[in-house]
Amino acid sequence: MSQSSLNRRLTQAFGVLLGIGIAVWLLRGFGLLSFMPGGVIWLLFLGAIALGLIAYAQRTWWRF
């Protein structure tokens, strides 16, 4: 797997996790997903942040 392909996949996964996190947060706020625990939303956001940091580090620092 080439470096640009890996970075593209990491960036896509970041976007997907962030999008799902925002959608779940909004739906929970509207009362449609009121049964969803807040920890799940935090895990989605923290996972998105972690993937974003890994994608950034892979793009800038890991030039091997």
Query: How do residues 15-47 score in pLDDT, each as one tens digit?
Result: 999 999 999 999 999 999 889 899 999 999 999
Instruction: State both tokens at 37.
Output: 């625990």
Domain boundaries, the chain: 3-60
Instruction: State both tokens at 7.
Output: 């970075």
pLDDT of res. 5: 83
- Element at 39 (helix H, strand E): helix 38-60
1-12 residue pLDDT tens: 666 788 889 899
pLDDT of res. 59: 80
pLDDT of res. 1: 62
Task: Answer yes or no: is pLDDT of 63 > 70.
Answer: no
pLDDT of res. 2: 67
